[in-house]
Amino acid sequence: MDWKALGLPDYPIYVKKPMDLGTVKSNLQKGVYRNHLQAAEDIRLVWTNCMKYNMEGSDLYVLAKRLQGQFEERYNRPKTSGLLEDLEPERYVRILVGWPWFVRVSF
3-class secondary structure per residue, 41-90? HHHHHHHHHHHHHCCCCCHHHHHHHHHHHHHHHHHHCCCCCCCHHHCCHH
Residue 91 confidence (pLDDT)? 60
**Element of type H or E holding 96:** helix 89-98
Q: Are 103 and 25 in contact (CB under 8 A)?
A: yes
Give 2's pLDDT tier (boundaries 50, 70, 90): confident
Residue 75 confidence (pLDDT)? 81
| pLDDT tens profile 21-70 | 889 888 888 888 887 888 889 999 999 999 999 999 999 999 999 999 98
Distances in Å between the Cα of 69 and the Cα atoms of 43, 52, 92, 99, 103 are: 12, 16, 17, 16, 16
Flag the least confident range among 16-20, 58-62, 84-88, 91-95: 84-88
Residue 101 confidence (pLDDT)? 42
